[in-house]
Structure formats: structure tokens, C-alpha cells
Amino acid sequence: MLLSLFFSCTSSAPQAQPDVLIVVLDTVRADRLSLYGHHRNTDTQLIEIAAAGVLFEQATSSSSWTWPSHASLFTGAQPWEHGAHRSKKGLSIEDSDWSVSPMHSDIPTLAEAFKNAGYITKSYSTNALLDPELGLMRGFDEAIATSDEARTMSLALEALNTPHSSPLFLFVNLMSAHAPYLIADFVPWSAKHRSDFDINTTTLEWAKPYIFTEYPGLNLTYFQEGNINGEMLYSKGALNIPKTDLLKIEDLYDGELMRLNIMMSSLMKAWNGRNGIVAVTSDHGEYLGENKRIGHGADLHPSVLSVPLIVAYPGQLEAGVRKKAPVEMRRLGATVLDLARIDTTSKSLAKKHSLFEESSDPIMAGVWGFSDWAKQVDPVYGIQKRWVQKNNYVAIVDEQGNGSMFNLSTDPTLERNISKEEHLMFEDLKNTALLHMSKPSVEANFTADEELLQQKLRSLGYMDD
């Protein structure tokens, strides 16, 4: 498909107020895209966007699940700064191990910056946690979260196809890559497993409790008796999934990426050659059997932190560039504001934090204790942790000072702990992690009620019914 279908390249002068489109492909890990080395072309539309802009080869999310990572995207702040994460001081869900704190209401957001600059601000999402009543969507004129991806797409396409007198900031979250993984009949490598994941034909005993009765697919977030789901059972070794079947799960996941590819094609056709800013990323990745995990959340690892990140603005950004330096996904907001020439007084969204500004700061991410995982799988999941990366070295340190260190250039899957061999580097990274964990996290009170939050967490498979 020609780039001219997607972008207008007729002018090198920056548009006074360019339209801005940010798409979060929820739960998409970078290494399952051909742009990042995957053997399958699951991302032909992203290839087109990258050819017109800049791709960041090493982008790290601020956390390994939706709530804190989206808050970081919208504010430019780290989770321990904006406060949106699991917290014993937050809203506790009755009869569960869940307690969640909201994003602090005093932190300026990306949507507020665009709104203050005269933009129409719209958000359409299939992720229930992006419901405006939960507080992350401050600054959007319209924010709709629906369980129907087709409706999300319809709303987004309508926004792009409707003429508007003011510039548009459109945020879209698409959830196809998130569990459950459904058979994609139009994708050969997914369709060939239909009989394995159809409840009427499967011979996979381990999979039967997690297969839908209505249509073929796999849902390991389904909770069994005792408030434990398939992801937890697999992690604790109580659900044996043969390697050959793990490969089938990978095929299903890649099939979901092809659904996203089609949706991205529709969005870019509706973008219709306008000379504006397009950015595509993810909030976190997904374990597909690595590290004794399937799913995401609860811990820190490249499988759940390494995300795609592409920014295109024809005529203003050089086309077809690949940036090798490590960056943080949370810098995207500052970057698009800078490209749109919108000034902000917010430190976290300031120009100096743009992806194109060199920084000596370490790459950091955090996760707070998942008490349900600690109870059902291993107490280690109940401990707060930090990811601290300098150049190729990364340390993962918990609040008790325990940790490990790895060389990402030679060990990208974190198989060999070198904290003792490189103890000086490890101590430096560990001290950075402990320094941040010693600071009191920003806390705020939820304005949403418990029932609404519980409903949203259940819809994503985080909680039992």
C-alpha cells in the first residue's frame, strides 16, 4: 500500500495545529512483530507507518499491566509519581485480594494539554479500565470504553471521517491481542488449530476448562473453583501445557495480531493522507510461556515490558529511521506535544522529556504486589519491584533489597544472573531502585465506586466472578 494513502508529504512546513492520532495496541509485545525481528509478517500496516516515520527499537513500558502504564502514557510520570497502581491504601474490592489506587488528580494529562490548546479530544477504547468514570481519561471531551471492538473501531472511524473546524486529538485502544485468544479463521497458522480449541472437537484435556462453548478460542484468565485461573495454575506448575501446545498458543496470539493489522489498515485509510502526527505503541506485552508465565502483570520482564513504538510526522520527522537507544514509552506524550508545538508547564510532559531528547536517566519500570498471585502462586508476587536499566544492564530489585542483574545485549530473555560478577554495577542499579522505593508513593482517593471498578477488573480477567 502506498504511503500517499496514509500521509500527505506535499509540505515541509509544520502544520499550525496538526491532527494527532495515538493508537495503543493493548498487550502487544514488540518481538512478535516483523519490525522487531519476528519471522511472521503480523504488522504490514505498522511497516508502512514506520517507513514514513521513526521506529524506536528498545521502548520500555512503565509497568506490566494497563492501569499504571496508561497513566504513565497520559501524564509522562512514573507509576510511583502518578499513583495509579495496586496499593493497600487504595480502593479495596470486597471479598477479593484486589486494592487499587487512582491517578492523582493534580497531575496534568496529555488530553488536558491538547484541550487547552484548542483541540477536540476523543478517546475510544475496548479496555474497560479506560472508562472515564475511573479517572484516567481526564481532559477528553468524549471518552467511551466498550467491550465491543467493532464499536470502538466504528467510533474511531467516525471521528476521523467527520469534518471538524478544530484540530483533533484522537486516542484509540484496541484489545484483540489481550486474552482471550480466539481462532482467526482468515489466518492460516491460527485456523489450523480450530479443532484443538473448539469444545466439541478438542482432545487437549488441559485446555477444556478454558475453551469457550460459543466459539473456538482459549481463555486462561477464566477462574476455576478456589479463585485461581489458568495463568496462575500454569505459573505454579499445576497446569501442564506441553511445548507443542505452547506453540499453538503463540499461533493464536499471532492470529490476533493479524486482526489488529486489519484494524490499523482501516484507521490509516480514514486518516486519508492528512499531514498530521501518528503514533503507535502498546501499554505492555504478554508472556507466552517464558519465565513460567502466560499473560501479564505481577512482575517485570522483557516479555511484558518491551513494546513497539513508532512516531510518524511526514515533512517534520525523517522517514524510515530506526532509533537504537533505549527509551521509555511514557515519553510519547511529551513528544507529540513538542511536535504539535504545544507548550506545557507540566514537568512530566515537558519538551525536555521528548523521545528525541538525549537523556542520561535510567530506564525504569515498576510493579506493586499482586496479593492474589502471592496467595495462589508464590509470595514473591506480593512484593513491590523496580526495573532499572542503564545501557545494556538491567537490574530487577524488590523492596527488600533482593535482586538480580542481566546484560540485555547478550541475554535478552534474562537467563543468566550476573549480579555477583558485576557487583559494582549491580549495587549502583540496586541503590537507584531502593531510592525510588523508599520515597512515599503519591496516593489519592477514588471517586469511582467499588462496584464499577470490580466490574471492569472482572471484564479483563484480573478478578474472579
> Which class for 379: exposed (0-12), middle (13-18), buried (19 or more C-beta within 10 A)?
exposed
Handedness of CA 312, 314, 317, 318 (dihedral sign): positive
Q: What is the mean pLDDT of residues 434-448?
A: 65
Question: Which pairing describes strands 181-182 and 217-218: parallel, antiparallel, or unpaired?
Answer: antiparallel
C-alpha cell at 238: 499445576
Q: Tens digit of pLDDT for each residue in 395-437?
A: 999 999 999 999 999 999 999 999 999 999 999 999 999 998 8
Assigned C-alpha cell, 13: 512546513
Helix axes 243-271, 149-161, angle to 10 degrees: 20
For residues 203 and 181, give the distance between their C-alpha atoms in angstroms, rounded to a whole number: 18
- Cα–Cα dist 423/420, whole Å: 5
Q: What is the mean pLDDT of residues 114-119?
A: 97
Q: Tell me if residue 260 falls in helix, strand or coil.
A: helix
* pLDDT, position 149: 96
Q: Is 292 left (phi over 0), alpha (psi -120 to 50) or beta?
A: left
Does residue 153 register a pLDDT over 70?
A: yes
| Entry pTM | 0.91
Q: pLDDT tens across 230-242, in order?
A: 999 999 999 999 9
Asked whether the beta carbons of 108 and 349 are under 8 A apart, the reply is: yes
Confidence of residue 91 (pLDDT cuts 50, 70, 90): very low
CB neighbour class for 12 (10 Å; exposed up to 12, middle 13-18, buried from 19): exposed
Helix (H) or strand (E) holding 338: helix 332-339
- Per-residue burial over 413-424, b if 16 or more Cβ lie within 10 Å, else e, is ebeeebbeebee
Separation CA 311–CA 222 (nearest Å): 36
Helices (H), 176-222: 188-191
Model pLDDT for residues 292-328, shown as the tens digit of each residue: 999 999 899 999 999 999 999 999 999 999 999 999 9
How does 84-105 read in b/e, with b if 16+ C-beta sit within 10 Å? Answer: bbbbeebbebeebbbbbbbbbe
Q: Kindly state the cell numbers that stand for 84.
A: 495509579
| Of 371, 283, 335, nearest in space to 63 by CA | 283
- With contact defined as beta carbons under 8 Å apart, do 278 and 66 qualify? no
Give the per-residue pLDDT at 93: 42
Q: In this model, does residue 330 exceed pLDDT 50?
A: yes
Domains and CATH numbers, the chain: 3-179+220-361 (3.40.720.10)
